[in-house]
Amino acid sequence: MEMEPILLLCLSLLAHGAEPACREARFTGTVLPLMRVQQLVLPPTTHSPPPNRLRFRHDVSLTVPVAVGAPPQNVTMVLDTGSELSWLRCNGSRVPSTPPPQAPAAFNGSASSTYAAAHCSSPECQWRGRDLPVPPFCAGPPSNSCRVSLSYADASSADGILAADTFLLGGAPPVRALFGCVTSYSSATATNSSDSEAATGLLGMNRGSLSFVTQTATLRFAYCIAPGDGPGLLVLGGDGAALAPQLNYTPLIQISRPLPYFDRVAYSVQLEGIRVGAALLPIPKSVLAPDHTGAGQTMVDSGTQFTFLLADAYAPLKGEFLNQTSALLAPLGESDFVFQGAFDACFRASEARVAAASQMLPEVGLVLRGAEVAVGGEKLLYRVPGERRGEGGAEAVWCLTFGNSDMAGMSAYVIGHHHQQNVWVEYDLQNGRVGFAPARCDLATATQRLRARA
């Protein structure tokens, strides 16, 4: 007899410092481990990236284990709620003669009995990619394959063919889905690290017609990102109320008419205000809403590491944070230092100093319609790799984890996964909303792993 899964969630809904309230929940969804992979490495390029690519890149990505094909081939994929078409690096990819260390094994379509490339005259190629920035296109004879070209805000791009195969996630039944079988790339949304397997591709989870959740008719999914190197959880399906009944929901925003800068398949919510500590910043409502071009939408994105704010909201946040932390942290004092081209509120301090100060830093709250994403403590600062200051390099360089969208070349607000750590985030597609609740994601993960072994 198959046992019903039981998950222990520890929601931190009480005052800071209080013990979390833990409860058991029975559910019918699929649970997968969700890893934070450190040290994103951009692999060597096979061709020069387009000049309009942005300068920033992610140092941490979220990955999940997936089995693809028959017999199953185990791969690791970046979880990205900001992207549509999933893709895998396939055999035959153009790579340099000396691949990067720990390069991920490519997916071998020819070894899968369920793999099939999409023909350029097929409905999949003709109309199902209508939501992609660059729709699939016909390669023409002799192959007549359906080509896909994908690009991302962190300077990554991937090209290949549209194909279909079976995907197995956790203990759920296999599902058939279209994906990009990538044969060339200029950099990566996939990652590698010293202690984790590199990612083979990306799992697209937005609301587009070719996203994994749309193709598999997934009506609800959620994740809980654990801090540090510990695994979190990805839950597909199930009863959201049974898992986390105390979520605060914010509705998804949709604009019916096409606008040049509005991503209509993103998880777009309404940002209504920003506070630093108890101080609500004097930001006009018009600054926080999409304008007539669609610029200014707010997206919840697991594929972006940090949070980005448009300049008219970023400037008052930066000023108020510097004002409230003047007695705690010493500014870097280098006007030309900008981390990843978008983060210029930076400080110099030893690790011990930041550890002590982090408990006294003012919380930053992103006030949404009906919910709030609160960012405090260690999540407010990020140590810039390789940057040391002071005698003998005694001080590290730290930057506020809110970036300037305008400096990065973006026209939107983006809530990244760094600020979603220890938060239960639920995407309820059936009811058109996103829910948030503070949680101890490390405890939820440890309990699930323990029960899985019993």
Contacts of 158 (CB under 8 A, 6+ apart): 87, 149, 150, 151, 180, 182, 184, 185, 186, 189
pLDDT tens profile 44-75: 323 333 322 233 344 578 999 999 999 999 99
Give a yes or no: residue 190 inside a domain. yes
d(CA 34, CA 434): 19
With a cut of 80, say whether residue 238 has pLDDT above it.
no
pLDDT tens profile 89-104: 998 654 444 444 455 6
**DSSP states of 263-295 as a string?**
-TTS-EE-EEEEEETTEE----GGGGS--TTST
pLDDT tens profile 407-425: 999 999 999 999 999 999 9
With a cut of 90, say whether residue 378 has pLDDT above it.
yes
d(CA 380, CA 398): 10
Q: How many domains does the chain have?
A: 2
Give a yes or no: residue 38 inside a domain. yes
Strands of 285-354, DSSP E: 298-300, 307-309, 330-331, 346-349
Residue of 59, 80, 165, 442 marked catalytic: 80
Same domain, 47 and 76: yes
d(CA 111, CA 182): 16
Residue of 59, 154, 301, 428 marked catalytic: 301
Give a yes or no: residue 176 inside a domain. yes
Same domain, 199 and 266: no
Same domain, 206 and 323: no
450 band by pLDDT with thresholds 50, 70 and 90? very low
Of 208, 181, 220, the residue nearest 75 (C-alpha): 181
Mean pLDDT over residues 200-220, rounded? 95
Q: What is the mean pLDDT of the chain?
A: 84
Strands of 265-415, DSSP E: 268-269, 271-276, 279-280, 298-300, 307-309, 330-331, 346-349, 364-368, 371-375, 381-389, 395-400, 402-404, 413-415
With a cut of 80, say whether residue 429 has pLDDT above it.
yes
Mean pLDDT over residues 311-332, rounded? 98
Which pLDDT belongs to residue 187?
59
Which of residues 173, 207, 242 is at a domain's end? 242
Which pLDDT belongs to residue 38?
60
Same domain, 258 and 163: no
Domain of residue 66, CATH code: 2.40.70.10
Same domain, 51 and 192: yes
Which pLDDT belongs to residue 128?
74
Which pLDDT belongs to residue 121?
86
Percentage, residues of the chain above pLDDT 90: 63
Same domain, 381 and 413: yes
Which pLDDT belongs to residue 368?
99
Q: Which one-letter amino acid corresponds to residue 306?
A: F
Same domain, 207 and 325: no
Which pLDDT belongs to residue 30?
86
CA atoms within 13 A on the CB side of 187: 19
Which of residues 220, 242, 264 is at a domain's end? 242
With a cut of 90, say whether residue 77 has pLDDT above it.
yes
**DSSP states of 81-143 as a string?**
TT--B-EEEBTT----SSPPTTPPPPB-GGG-TT-EEPBTTSHHHHTTTTTSSS--EE--TTT
Same domain, 51 and 109: yes
Q: Respond yes or no: is residue 80 known to be catalytic.
A: yes
Same domain, 252 and 123: no
Of 81, 99, 44, 68, the residue nearest 180 (C-alpha): 68
Give a yes or no: residue 1 inside a domain. no
Pair type for strands 433-438 and 423-428: antiparallel
Which of residues 194, 211, 242 is at a domain's end? 242
Q: Which domain holds residue 265?
A: 246-437
Give a yes or no: residue 446 inside a domain. no
Same domain, 392 and 257: yes
Give a yes or no: residue 9 inside a domain. no
pTM score, two decimals?
0.87
- 378, exposed or middle or buried, with CB in 10 Å at 0-12, 13-18, 19+? middle
With a cut of 70, say whether residue 365 has pLDDT above it.
yes
Higher pLDDT, 11 or 233: 233
Give a yes or no: residue 443 inside a domain. no
Q: Respond yes or no: is residue 344 known to be catalytic.
A: no
Give a yes or no: residue 5 inside a domain. no
Same domain, 432 and 376: yes
Is the four-CA dihedral 131, 81, 138, 164 of positive or negative sign? negative
pLDDT tens profile 248-271: 999 999 998 999 999 999 999 999
Which pLDDT belongs to residue 96?
42
Same domain, 321 and 257: yes
pLDDT tens profile 185-206: 775 444 434 333 468 899 999 9
Percentage, residues of the chain above pLDDT 70: 79
With a cut of 90, say whether residue 174 has pLDDT above it.
yes
Most confident of the following: 4-8, 234-238, 343-347: 343-347
Q: Which segment of 131-135, 314-318, 396-400 scores lowest on mean pLDDT?
A: 131-135
